[in-house]
Structure 1
């Protein structure tokens, strides 16, 4: 994967926004906290930078959130799986709806299920297979809707649409 200065700069900005907003914008969602901006950024980065760029941004946000003490290890499977599926579906369909849907499926279901063994081995918590699904869904649905609205508005401007698509990986 070869990224240019534009892509790396955008990635750094998205990581910074995702990290900062995780300390400011959250709400309780069952047993967890919902971070809708994380999921919005997953969709935005997946659409603009592709699946690998989306995974990279999600990983770096999760890493920084953990270092700063505002996240848990569960940020990794949800964010990274959701960003990958969002990017993959967008690349296959070129439809924003499918990118947002991919984030919801990837984080809300697959990421939640992947979090079960991680919770057991790293956090010492034994939980049922679908234990994390409701709270992950609340978080990812709200963020995916936000991303859908933001990208839809930006894409209505022809110049902005060209600029956003110029970031896409080859």
Structure 2
């Protein structure tokens, strides 16, 4: 029983560290209208922690960026769907490139399209907005961020502590060795 409590605490500590990294790094490595660092952290987070914790990380980061940095609800629509699909992609595809593809589709396509109605609600107007308004920027940020995340993961997966942390979050029978890239 104590071992399960210790592992649960370790998971929360890793989740808190990933949230802190995302919240701090996202505004530092931001291109106007794009947040590639969120995609970097989403891809690394879901490979490290799985879809549930990765999505919780993205949701928490989006809320914190909205509260602390004054970013509109785009912080949520852009990150949460990408993290969720990236997590599912990695869990069922068993390869990092499936996580990358999930992040690009979730953030670049789904997140960008859902941003339109959210921003219409948030601003109360449709002036100057259309369904694909956010799509080019979301695709640009998610593609560049996912590729950077992929490159970083190639290096991280060679570090023994990374695999050990993955095992704390492991539920399925996915092997987490370097060959899974």
Fold conserved between structures, TM > 0.5: yes
Runs of 5+ consecutive residues of structure 2 not aligned to the other structure: 172-181
Structure 1 residues 125 and 144: alpha-carbon distance in aligned structure 2, compared to 1, 3 A threshold: farther
Structure 1 residues 35 and 54: alpha-carbon distance in aligned structure 2, compared to 1, 3 A threshold: same
- Deviation of 1:93 after TM superposition, in Å, equals 1.1
Aligned residues: 164
Name the TM-score, length of structure 2 as normaliser.
0.84
- Deviation of 1:78 after TM superposition, in Å, equals 1.6
Structure 1 residues 84 and 66: alpha-carbon distance in aligned structure 2, compared to 1, 3 A threshold: same
Name the TM-score, length of structure 1 as normaliser.
0.89
Moved more, 57-66 or 159-168: 159-168
Q: Distance in 1 between matches of 2:133 and 2:24?
A: 28
Structure 1 residues 129 and 139: alpha-carbon distance in aligned structure 2, compared to 1, 3 A threshold: same
Listed one character per residue, the Cα deviations across residues 11-36 of structure 1 (whole Å, up to 9, x for unaligned) are: 101111111112311112xxx2x221
Q: Distance in 2 between matches of 1:40 and 1:163?
A: 21
**CA radius of gyration, larger in:** 2
Runs of 5+ consecutive residues of structure 1 not aligned to the other structure: none
Listed one character per residue, the Cα deviations across residues 93-138 of structure 1 (whole Å, up to 9, x for unaligned) are: 1100010110000000000011111010012342221111000011
CA RMSD of aligned residues (A): 1.7
